[in-house]
Amino acid sequence: MKDDILKSIRGYLEMEKESGVSEYLFSSKPKDIRLNLVKNEVSGCQKCPLGKMRTKSVFGSGSINAKLMFVGEAPGHEEDVHGIPFVGEAGMLLTKIIEAMGIKREDVYICNILKCRPPHNRNPLPDEISACMDYLYNQIEMIRPRVICGLGKFASQTLLNIEIPISKLRGSWHEYRGIKFMPTYHPAYLLRNPADKKLVWKDMKKIMEALNG
Ligand code: URA
């Protein structure tokens, strides 16, 4: 009986590990310490060539107890300089959106699929995404927000493992590892297409309802 239970726990842990959840999750250390250990690992990461090109890695910012997590694509120039996600022009717009939702930026958690800036802000490559994904899995599993908002095509398609265009994905609920997932347009897209801000606001209203309901 005991052996069976141990066997099924071991099987579960193996399954979690294979899907990218590392030993940090199963340590008995407090959540903030475990998250910091992952952050330290990221700051020395050389798992892909972007590690050699970065000024600073960009792990994530915000509350470890966040109910809402935003996941973007990859750091840009400003983020690479400061080591903080979404601090450039798109970041200022994201901050405005969060505040319009009646939430303080420091009460949500913000991170990206990639933790290092791709040269000239080019799109993330599949190898870079797979090298980096464990870090994000750890962040999501440690924070376990009530809602994840995928900012743009890369974050949404990667986490949902789906190739549907963001224009079709956005605005409806999906699920990521048991967490409600709302894809929406990336704030950098909104800077180029301000008319679509109203669609993002619709998506944010759905998120607010889910958080308050
Ligand atoms: N765009 C992103 O996707 N992430 C950032 O951190 C900044 C801009």
* pLDDT, tens only, 16-30: 666 556 778 878 889
Residue 124 domain boundaries: 55-212
| Residue 7, pLDDT score | 78
Instruction: Find tokens 């679509």 and name the residue.
Output: 196
Cα of 142 from ligand 1 centre, angstroms = 21
21 and 61 housed in the same domain: no
| Residue 16, pLDDT score | 63
Which residues line the pocket of ligand 1, CB cutoff 6 A? 72-76, 79, 85-86, 88, 90-91, 112, 188
User: What's the mean pLDDT in 200-208?
Assistant: 98
The residue count for the chain: 213
CA distances from 10 to 7, 17, 31, 168, 181 (A): 5, 10, 22, 39, 29
Is residue 109 within 8 A of residue 145, CB to CB? The reply is yes
| Residue 35, pLDDT score | 96
**Residues 165-199: pLDDT tens digits?**
999 999 999 999 999 999 999 999 999 999 999 99
User: Which of 84, 86, 114 has the most ligand 1 atoms within 8 A of CB, as the residue to mutate?
Assistant: 86
Identify whether 165 is part of a domain: yes
34 and 1 housed in the same domain: yes
In the chain, the number of structural domains is 2
173 and 199 housed in the same domain: yes
Q: What is the CATH number of the domain that holds 129?
A: 3.40.470.10
